[in-house]
Amino acid sequence: MGDKKIRVLMAKPGLDGHDRGVKTVIHALHDAGIDVTYTGLHKTPEEIVKAASDENVSLVGLSILSGAHIPICAQIVKLMKEAGMPDKPIMVGGVIPERDIPALRKMGVEGIFPVDTPFEDIVRFVEEKGR
Amino acid sequence: MTEKKKLQVPPRKLESGIDIKVCYGPEDVADLDYERDLGDPGNYPFTRGIHATMYRSRPFTMRQYAGFGSPAETNQRFKYLIEHGQNALNVAFDLPTQNGLDSDDPRAEGEVGRVGMAIDTLADMEAAFEGLDLSKISVSLTINPVASIMIAMYKVVAEKQGVPNDRIMGTAQNDILKEYVGRGTWIYDVEPSLRLITDTVEYCARELPRYFPLSVCGYHIRESGADPVQEMAYAFLIAKEYARRAMERGLKPDEFLGRFSFNLDIHGNFFEQIAKFRAGRRLWAKICKEDLGATNPKSMMLRGIFGGGGGGLAIREPENNIVRMAYYSLASALSGTQTMALCCYDEAYTIPSEKAALVALRTMQILQEEVSVCDTVDPLAGSYYVESITNEMENLIVAEMKRIDELGGIVKCIADGYIQKTISRQAYEEEKSIRSGEKVKVGVNKYATKEKASLEMELHDFDSKVQDAQIASFKKIKTQRDATAASAALDKLRDKAANTDENLMPHILDCVRAYCSVGEMSGVFRDVFGEFKEPIDF
């Protein structure tokens, strides 16, 4: 630490309202001294990208439990590029089956954290990518 | 009695914080008064159960939650279930419907028909129940912010079948306060949402006497991180809030309290769950009688679905979840539930497969029919341990209710995010204690094998054909319906919502009869009531 505090946008895209996971990860990030802005529930990809831009965060985290992670991530990656933030790292957590990991990596999602990922892995990713 | 020698062992606590003694004895229940504290089953305060004979004459019903994409598929599934002897159906809706969005709304893309059936207009509800006699079956609707619309649609389908109002049976979940705490399916701001709930309670009390207008869900509050005491305390505070508002409309407690039911959670300490339900039944009876003024014993009964909760399941070695659920279902039966439902072993990964759903059903059937736990009522009554912690749990629930009241009441504590903040912090602490190994999860943090968790299970891909067909049929209804009548009904609904405090059910019913859509009606409410602004506070 020492230099400027890392800021992360944590977002909950789509209609699913289960937020225990995202809130747990936010607590873990807070405890690691990371600054988090949380969008709350039911956000569209457009709203999330706008929040990333408005808040000038260094990294975007998505929590998706509904199974719709592929289309949602693809849309957000595309909108981030269009909004002039092609290099801003994106991470996704939730119910992500192993078979979908290559597709997510290919579209440019750098951090993929399925259920049960140690908090340390997420924190390390944010600290490395968020600088 | 001789002073017992203090046994030297490390301390243990219930999740609710109560110290567990190594051994319990008569001194722990010395104050227990059978008539006052327990009573025979079927008698106040119903600690031992709400019916005199319980499972000997009314075995618990099994109501698994499941969804099928289109109304037509749902209809086929219902017919199959009824042919096989089931008479209670549980309808799952897709997320757009649950959130008050039509299938052609851009926000619904990719979600139409995915976790349940899509309902846009009355035509879909008619298709779902086509050929089913609604005077003979009871249907449970798992729906919350748009419950008033779904109750109206169900009522109109029954009305078109010629079923008189007093023969319409069913339950709507319709518990918006818990949606703000957990599960997250909310739309409108808190006060107008409570107005809609009260409208349904009043409407059902006056018009649909056999309909259960709401099911208060401690379940989702516990799944979001609450301990068992908080689960019960918040559920009772929420139920009291709905009751208070109904009474403000001039209803007497005995006119509606008997139609409240509860959906409560099971995972964690086995005996703590049983004590929770026995304490809860006794306390709810006292609340109804002493605080709310009920006089009919039927109004004082805690009717419940005590279900095996996903919060106890693990994603690693998913087969172990079958064993966990078997214990949870045993706790449920020993607690005197009316209805049981279990999560499926693959639920941490996906919408349950048919195989996993069948295992859950078999678990309950084996419990009920093979191992003889249903032969006598409340078999744990009189246990020094169970009776002692039943008393302690009741005291703690009362104390937590009082604490929330002193903080301004349940509505305020939910609207400003206090409850959410408290329990999400607890969820995080629990997660940390699992990760550190302090709280044991077998096969996860103890005796875990080195191999990675397998995430390759039978997964469901989204079928865009269901979505396309649903959108096409919705478009067709919009061209076929009487457009003038539909827009007049919506205008009237808007006017009544914005400018009066009239019960909105008759106007929702008019909209439904004119084939207005869920999205159109909830769109009116979004405009007039405003959307809930989620408090973000950690």
Q: Which domains does chain B have, with CATH numbers?
A: 53-435 (3.20.20.240)
Partner-chain residue, chosen from A17, A98, A119, that has the shortest CB–CB distance to B455? A98
Q: Residues of chain A whose C-beta is under 8 A from some C-beta in B?
A: 14-20, 23-24, 26-28, 30, 36, 38, 40-42, 44, 66-68, 71-72, 95-99, 114-116, 118-119
Instruction: Determine the Cα–Cα distance for residues A86 and A105; give it in Å rounded to an integer.
Output: 15
Name the CATH architecture for the domain at A7-129: 3-Layer(aba) Sandwich (3.40)
**Type of residue numbered B127:** A
**Contact (Cβ atoms closer than 8 angstroms) between residue A75 and residue A105:** no
Q: Could A119 and B435 be called an inter-chain contact, meaning their C-beta atoms sit closer than 8 Å?
A: yes
Share of chain B above pLDDT 90, in %: 83
Determine whether B507 is exposed, middle or buried from the number of CB atoms within 10 Å of its CB (0-12, 13-18, 19+). Answer: buried
Q: Could A38 and B538 be called an inter-chain contact, meaning their C-beta atoms sit closer than 8 Å?
A: yes
**Contact (Cβ atoms closer than 8 angstroms) between residue B246 and residue B204:** no
Residue A5 has pLDDT above 90, yes or no: no
User: B464 or B203: which carries more pLDDT confidence?
Assistant: B203
Residue B63: its pLDDT value, please?
80
**Contact (Cβ atoms closer than 8 angstroms) between residue A15 and residue B219:** no
Per-residue CA distances from B209 to B164, B212, B285 (Å) = 11, 8, 21
State the DSSP H helix or E strand holding residue B263, giving kind and residue range, or none if neither.
strand B260-266
What is the pLDDT confidence band of residue B530, given thresholds at 50, 70 and 90? very high
Residues of chain A neighbouring B179 (CB-CB closer than 8 A): 17
Single out the residue of A117, A32, A123, A43 nearest to residue B531, CA to CA. Answer: A43
**Contact (Cβ atoms closer than 8 angstroms) between residue B271 and residue B15:** no
Least confident of B113-117, B129-133, B476-480: B113-117
Q: Could B427 and A23 be called an inter-chain contact, meaning their C-beta atoms sit closer than 8 Å?
A: yes
Best of B428, B452, B456, B458 to mutate (most A CBs within 10 Å, chain A): B428
**What is the residue-averaged pLDDT of chain A?**
94
Instruction: Determine the Cα–Cα distance for residues B326 and B313; give it in Å rounded to an integer.
Output: 12
Residues of chain B neighbouring A23 (CB-CB closer than 8 A): 424, 427-428, 538
What is the pLDDT confidence band of residue A1, given thresholds at 50, 70 and 90? very low
**Type of residue numbered B513:** R
Spatial neighbors of B502 by CB under 8 A, at least 6 apart, are B496
Q: Could B184 and A41 be called an inter-chain contact, meaning their C-beta atoms sit closer than 8 Å?
A: yes
CB neighbours of residue B446 within 10 Å: 10
**pTM of the predicted protein model:** 0.96
- In chain A, the N- to C-terminal Cα span, in Å, equals 10
Q: Could B316 and A116 be called an inter-chain contact, meaning their C-beta atoms sit closer than 8 Å?
A: yes
Residue of B nearest to A36 (CA): B538
pLDDT digit string, tens, across residues B228-256: 999 999 999 999 999 999 999 999 999 99
Least confident of A48-52, B88-92, B250-254: B88-92
Partner-chain residue, chosen from A20, A40, A96, that has the shortest CB–CB distance to B534? A40
pLDDT digit string, tens, across residues B384-438: 999 999 999 999 999 999 999 999 999 999 999 999 999 999 999 999 999 999 9
Residue B47: its pLDDT value, please?
98
Residue B5: its pLDDT value, please?
63
Q: Could A95 and B425 be called an inter-chain contact, meaning their C-beta atoms sit closer than 8 Å?
A: no
User: A66 or B314: which carries more pLDDT confidence?
Assistant: B314
Residue B66: its pLDDT value, please?
67
Least confident of B195-209, B267-281, B346-360, B371-385: B346-360
pLDDT digit string, tens, across residues B455-475: 456 666 677 899 999 999 999
